[in-house]
Chains A and B, each alone.
Chain A
Amino acid sequence: MRRMSAFNVVSLTLGFAFLYIPMVILVVYSFNASKLVTVWAGFSTKWYGELIRNEAFLDAAWVTVKVGVLSSTFATVLGTMAAYVMVRRGSFRGRTLFSGMIYAPLVMPEVITGLSLLLLFIAIGLDRGVLTIVLAHTTFSMCYVSVVVSSRLVSFDRSLEEAALDLGCTPFQGFRLVTLPIIAPAVLAGWLLAFTLSLDDLVIASFTAGPSATTLPIKIFSSVRLGVSPEINALSTIIIGLVVSGVIVASLVSKHRIAARSAEERAAID
């Protein structure tokens, strides 16, 4: 490998420093023994202990996971259905309008989405809680799922579906037995994206959450307004740890699968 030029080394270092120094600081201070966030007083894991005993945080974490799983599952079902219709049903009256409307929430400012959902829930008299957050997250993440799935469907060989029909499937069987297994990676990617968006969301959740249910981002945000506590740092470190291990596992799995596949293809030649 050729040595990198000084310019490359500098830009790489600067770039990564820009990205990661804030997080490194956060992680380091989560192990601070002092209650004051900015004063280092020796290594300690006591804030992690405090965190585990903090009911409010645990509740919020549980709500967040519940909302994430439910909303991304609904969003995946709806988004996949929408994508399938948009890509497969070539042209029908109002198709352009319909596809425009599916993607509009992507560019809609979140405050507006959140506000309009809030008004809707008030209008139909729905008490704000887990259900309303799930509905809100489903609404805004289904269009992301639909984008991911339709880009896969566009390159999907149409004749595979026709072959399924030809061999006696009803259109629904064809979708279940042929299309879905083949586009499964894209559907899964859509689910993960929706799940991440749901975990990430603060704005829409604050419009639609009620006193009975708070998500972790809302909880963190509201406690930070009273001052940054080392507990929050500990919590954030745990989240960073989860995300990093998730990314590592995902890349190892996909690397392994690519290697296995090319080995199989080589085996096919002889």
Chain B
Amino acid sequence: MPEADVVEPWNDPGATPLIRIEGVSKRFGEFTAIDDISIDIYGQEFFALLGPSGCGKTTLMRMLAGFETPSDGRITLDGQDMAGVAPNKRHVNMMFQSYALFPHLSVWENIAFGLKRDGRDKGKIAARVDEMLKLTQLEKFARRKPHQISGGQRQRVALARALAKAPKLLLLDEPLGALDKKLRQDTQFELMDIQERTGTTFVIVTHDQEEAMTVASRVAVMDHGQLVQVDTPERIYEQPNSVYVADFIGDVNLIEGRAVVSDNTVELAWAEGRPAIAGQSVGTLANGDAATFAIRPEKIAISRDEPTERNRVQGKILDIGYLGNLSTYHVQLPEGPVITCEVGNRSRVSRRDFTWEDEVWLSWSDTAGLVLGS
């Protein structure tokens, strides 16, 4: 569903990607760290690589930076094949997971380091460093050494240093991993702001799905060296293409069963003697295939009286979680599954509608859930 007012080059067949990763694999001895991955990344994108620890995100990023060579496949940057191009000859800069600030140099010299290698004249270097210090609000710390500033400031020095050379592509390996939660969230917005202002293409690696969803224009979800889905954050959340993605991103209820396919609907038979539940189907399912029904907790309504909705189940409240802005109810169905549903707390002094052990009905619309192949 392309939208006219949003720039989505990945939906434009005429657009040329800045980076093409074509059938790239990376093996370390017997072990396959990256397994036949193809991605196109477009100019000015904020692209996130998301996946659990050890799934190969850093390896893929190091191939873009030139520290590893693909065992198979091809990487092109701006039309140029990157095979055999040394890291110092690529218009790519990387912000390292450990920041890798040079401990013997001041903040100013760290940022100037890359510029000096280009042999620009002194005045230009100084002007560019000052610009970077301003962008990252580090003017006051220019003369300090890395061990004389805080973690959050170090992170900004690393960013400023990587951006100073105005690379075509900036790689960020878990850039916020070392920061505490509050600082992380502030920094995410700062990163987005800087990305927009400089117009640089960012590829960020993270294992934090919230972070990926917040900052990225598109997210690539990886699992064991393979690419599972590449899409916008909305579509990753609303239209996951597999149980893996649905489960990895946000909270989800999963109900297993068998697909019941008729002309144009797919339903899931999930318990003996219960009506099948309906959802949008993903991929091609045949009648009787093992399938999983996935639905987000906030898409389920809870009520005491039997609803008129076709998709409805009855159960007993097992647990209630009060999270301030919303409450979550864990409902035990007699058939076995426990379903979680989320209800927003709109009024401040809300009367508790439900309590433990209450018999309640859960219901949802036909389009709220997905039937995914298992």
Contact = CB atoms under 8 A, between A and B. Distances in A.
Interface in A253-270: 261, 264-265, 267-269
A153 to B, nearest CB: 15
Contact of A167 (B93, B103, B145, B148): B93
B96 interface: yes
A261 B65 CA distance: 34
B149 A268 contact: yes
Given A264-B147, A265-B148, A269-B150, A159 B88 contact: no
Given A268-B144, A269-B150, A166 B88 contact: yes
Contacts of B165: 167-168
Interface SS of chain A: helix
A163 B110 CA distance: 11
Interface stretch (B113-121, B280-288, B301-309, B327-335): B113-121
A173 interface: yes
A42 B165 CA distance: 76
B147 A166 contact: no
Interface in B47-96: 65, 67, 86-88, 92-94, 96
Interface in B136-174: 144-145, 147-150, 161-162, 165
A43 B259 CA distance: 108
Contacts of A177: 113
Contact of B65 (A164, A166, A168, A267): A166
Q: How many interface residues does chain B have, given as a range?
A: 20 to 34
Given A159-B96, A162-B87, A268-B150, A168 B102 contact: no
A268 B147 contact: yes
A181 B161 contact: no
Interface in A163-197: 163-170, 173, 177-178, 181-182
A162 B100 contact: yes
A159 B98 CA distance: 8
A170 B67 CA distance: 13
B147 A167 contact: no
A12 interface: no
A168 B117 contact: yes
Contacts of A169: 88, 117
Given A168-B118, A168-B165, A170-B88, A162 B67 contact: yes
A162 B88 CA distance: 9
Contacts of A157: 98, 100
A162 B96 contact: yes
A160 interface: yes
A165 B150 contact: no
Nearest to B96: A159
A138 B67 CA distance: 36
B88 A165 contact: yes
A160 B146 CA distance: 13
B114 A168 contact: yes
B104 interface: yes
Contacts of A265: 147-148
Contacts of B88: 165-170
Given A162-B96, A166-B65, A264 B148 contact: yes
A95 B92 CA distance: 33
A163 B148 contact: no
Nearest to B92: A166
Nearest to B154: A268
A178 B162 CA distance: 16
A64 B143 CA distance: 44
Contacts of B92: 166
A170 B119 CA distance: 13
The 8 closest A-B pairs by CB, nearest first: A167-B114, A168-B117, A163-B100, A159-B100, A268-B148, A165-B87, A181-B104, A159-B96
Interface of B: 65, 67, 86-88, 92-94, 96-98, 100, 102-104, 113-114, 117-118, 144-145, 147-150, 161-162, 165
Interface of A: 157, 159-160, 162-170, 173, 177-178, 181-182, 261, 264-265, 267-269
